Chains A and B, each alone.
Chain A
Amino acid sequence: MTTAFIEISNGEKLAREQIPHLVFDEFQKNAMEIVKEGGKVVQYFGYQDGSSIKLLAVLRTDKLFIAGCDAPDTYPCFSQTCEPFHMFEREIAEQFGIKPEGHPWLKMVRYHPNYREKMPDVFGNDYKEDIPGNYNYYQVKGDEIHEVAVGPVHAGVIEPGHFRFNCIGERVLHLEIQLGYQHRAVENLLYNVLAKRLPILAESIAGDTAIGHSLCMAQAVEALTKVKPDKGAQIIRSIALELERLANHIGDLGALSGDVAFLPPANYFGRMRGDFLNLSLLICGNRFGKGLVRPGGVRFSLSDDLRKTMDERLKELKPQVEHVLDLLFAASTVRARFEDCGIVSNNDAEHLGLVGPAGRASGISYDARRCFPTEHYGQIDIPENKKPSGDVYARARVRYDEVLQSIKIIQSLIDTPVETNIVEDVNYNLPSSSFVVTINEAWRGEVSHALLTDQNGKILRYKVKDPSFHNWNGLAMSLRDTGISDFPLNNKSFNLSYCGFDL
């Protein structure tokens, strides 16, 4: 494949002048070529450089590619023929007022005014109104069609979002998911605040993915400042990321069990999830791993005593996990509810660009730990874990496999002494006019941060992408032609982040 895009590695510092700056038509042509041949969008965002607005795209095949261009005010959209750009184009329209003509569903992503002075709003919204609910939803018309509206406040201890179902009887014809209620302007904060706040903010993008996001932030700063964490730090970070995966996957399996009314595993997994969270607390004093990762390494060492405690806990927990997994997956009633429910075909998953366990459940083997390894993952054998069926069963089964793998990975990593120099002072003196993109496989899939600095080394643009940005449309797709009563089950099988999406 010849392309005007150039190759870049995960966590590689580039001078901004090294990034090909194409004319827009060429940028679009090359980007679409890569994606149409199976490539995926890792990052595609706008940024203000002096008085002009520019676009930058990072795409992936089995390698990463990058190029940029000047942004036109309007352009013929990519999404019409190339779906993976769909959400990214909407985001750029919302943030910078650049209109993709002919976009199949041009609607705001989060509901906020665009970042440019005097740039008219693409959606014609009046942001003086506090309510982010006055906009059109996709409508199905017909005699017996009815709509069900759910949220933003949900019937549980859950994040807010709005779900609009178009149904005929119990059958869902279409589900539209409108988020944005959690919008805190994280990206703007990230390049406006003092550097000492960066790690705290990164940990709070999505608290259940605190390690995933803080790793992306730390690796980006490390690449720019040419600091390399020592081997021990890389091992501790990998352990933390696997603990995060374990706790969340176990919690999800419990919730799935509860949603098919099989209560014993729901309770057992609910309790065990806490045991794994407590292992994060054991390492760094916080159940979600907050405070552990900093640019340059980690703030807590893993002493032999801690390794021993951890090993004992894991030895106690592992058989329990295995037995409850068996209890859940061997129950015929559970299988009957999981199988064939909420199928997302491999073809649809490819077009939507699903990542993480949701993608693997639909036959997409991509796992950043294997494809673009960071930290200690280059030396860990990560299996493919893909499943063919794309249903709730597949999404649960991927977690089943990954839970057991993560326990094994952690056990092997704590088997030998881990030595690290804990980080005290962090160097935030970023070089001028540079760029870096980082990718990590968190428990929901590919997390990516991209960072651009200006000629003075100040952060010019900080772009965050949570895997949920790709995957919410997968949930919508899974509900097509499914009974509305299966929504909770499908929702849990994806368990996506609202705050990671809303930023």
Chain B
Amino acid sequence: MLNTLKNRFEQGYRTCSYPKEKPAVFERYRGRPLIQKDVSQKIVEMCANACPQDAIDIGLKKIDMGRCVFCGTCERISKGAFVKFTGDFEISTSKKEHLLTDGDLPALAEHSKQHFKKLFGRSLQLRQVSAAGCNACEADLNVLATPFFDLARFGINFVASPRHADGIVVTGPVSRNMKTALLTTYEAIADPKVVIAVGSCALTGGPFLGSPEITEGLDTILPVDLFIPGCPPHPLTNLHALLTFFK
């Protein structure tokens, strides 16, 4: 008993004050990409060719955060001349086309559906379906339940049954072998319901682009309300998206 109390005092209070204050993320973190438009076509092409995810649109001089895995290759080879990854983790969008960006993202709060805020603003119960990713997105969703992020203090919880849920959070590129289970879970949720796609796999197929076994974008099979980019998205990216979109 004494040991339990001693540990309790040592651990102290650990919950972050986000969204009131933004916690500092280590410097090397790669968040929202910022594009320098006044750069030569040659450099843009060099970045586009080096990009393992083919996420750079040469003509528009934009980067597709849905395909991007935030590896930072383009920033390194252009020495920041074309793309710079900022420390900004608030990068989610409500429309897929907003993911193709020059770094200037529309404010998520203004694009969220007002009836969602009314319905789910005080209590949001989510069912997570892991559909063939690498388990990193799942891991960084799971940490939202730890004391540092403490998602439950906002009235948002992950629940065990789709019957108890207001929506689903999907991770992974939806393999052929997982598609039926995902669609059945979706159908089991009562209307009106929310669909949230987390991670570049769920957004576009991510690292597995081109595989015949996967779906290239959850939005091709379900109506997606919220797109959270990253490989995986930082827990704060997830937290920002949920709070801004529903609160």
Contact = CB atoms under 8 A, between A and B. Distances in A.
Interface of A: 110-112, 130-132, 152-153, 155-160, 180-186, 188-189, 192-194, 196-197, 199-201, 203-208, 210, 264, 267-268, 270-271, 273-274, 278, 281-288, 290-291, 299-300, 320, 323-324, 326-327, 330, 424, 497-499, 502
B13 to A, nearest CB: 11
B23 to A, nearest CB: 11
Contact of B181 (A160, A264, A267, A273): A160
Contacts of A188: 211
Contact of A206 (B77, B135, B180): B135
Contact of B213 (A112, A153, A268, A326): A112
A132 B130 CA distance: 16
Given A182-B172, A300-B28, A204 B207 contact: yes
A156 B160 contact: yes
23 contacts: A152-B178, A152-B181, A157-B130, A157-B142, A159-B138, A180-B177, A182-B172, A182-B177, A185-B213, A189-B210, A196-B50, A197-B207, A200-B69, A267-B146, A268-B11, A274-B143, A281-B25, A281-B28, A287-B232, A300-B28, A320-B11, A497-B135, A502-B175
* List of 7 A-B pairs having minimum Cβ-Cβ separation, nearest first: A207-B136, A207-B134, A155-B160, A285-B28, A270-B146, A204-B207, A182-B132
B137 interface: yes
B20 interface: no
B71 interface: yes
Given A155-B161, A184-B214, A264-B7, A291 B72 contact: yes
B213 A156 contact: no
B160 A185 contact: no
Contacts of A498: 135
Given A286-B231, A323-B6, 7 more contacts: A130-B176, A152-B178, A153-B129, A182-B175, A184-B132, A206-B134, A207-B133
Nearest to B87: A285
A280 B89 CA distance: 17
Given A157-B130, A196-B52, A424-B76, A189 B208 contact: yes
Contact of B133 (A199, A274, A499): A499
B28 A323 contact: no
B116 to A, nearest CB: 22
Given A130-B179, A182-B178, A282 B172 contact: no
B8 interface: yes
B50 A186 contact: no
B234 interface: yes
Interface string B34-60: 000000000000000011110000000
Interface of B: 3-4, 6-8, 10-11, 14, 25-26, 28-30, 50-53, 69-72, 76-77, 85, 128-143, 145-148, 158, 160-161, 172-173, 175-182, 185, 201, 206-208, 210-214, 231-232, 234-235
Given A157-B138, A207-B137, A184 B10 contact: no
Contacts of B145: 270
Contacts of B182: 153
B4 A264 contact: yes
Contacts of A112: 177, 213
Given A184-B173, A208-B135, A499-B134, A288 B52 contact: no
Given A110-B177, A283-B28, A184 B211 contact: yes
A420 to B, nearest CB: 15
Nearest to B206: A204
Contact of B136 (A193, A208, A267, A323): A208
Contact of B208 (A152, A204, A273, A497): A204
A200 B53 contact: yes
Given A285-B29, A286-B70, A424-B76, A270 B143 contact: yes
A497 to B, nearest CB: 7
Q: Which of B6, B178, B212 has the most CB of A within 10 A?
A: B178
B3 A327 contact: yes
A477 B59 CA distance: 57
B28 A326 contact: no
Contacts of B172: 182
B231 A131 contact: no
Contacts of B148: 271, 274
A78 B44 CA distance: 55
Contact of B132 (A153, A323, A326, A502): A502
A193 B209 CA distance: 10
Nearest to B212: A185
A111 B177 CA distance: 8
Contacts of B232: 207, 287-288
B134 to A, nearest CB: 3
A157 B231 contact: no
Contacts of A180: 177
B147 A270 contact: yes
A197 B175 CA distance: 19
A284 B147 CA distance: 25
A192 B15 CA distance: 46
Nearest to B129: A153
A205 B178 contact: no
Q: Which of A132, A273, A320 has the most CB of B within 10 A?
A: A132
Nearest to A162: B181
Contacts of B130: 157-160, 182
B5 to A, nearest CB: 10
A291 to B, nearest CB: 5
B28 A282 contact: yes
Contacts of A268: 7, 11
Nearest to B3: A327
B214 A267 contact: no
Given A153-B129, A283-B28, A499-B133, A181 B175 contact: yes
Contacts of A284: 28
Given A152-B181, A274-B143, A287 B138 contact: no
Contacts of A291: 30, 70-72
A31 to B, nearest CB: 31
Nearest to B181: A152
A270 B145 CA distance: 9
A323 B7 contact: yes
B76 A299 contact: yes
A317 to B, nearest CB: 12
B175 A184 contact: yes
A290 B208 contact: no
Contacts of B235: 274
Given A278-B26, A281-B25, A327-B7, A186 B160 contact: no
Q: Which of A283, A291, A326, A502 has the most CB of B within 10 A?
A: A291
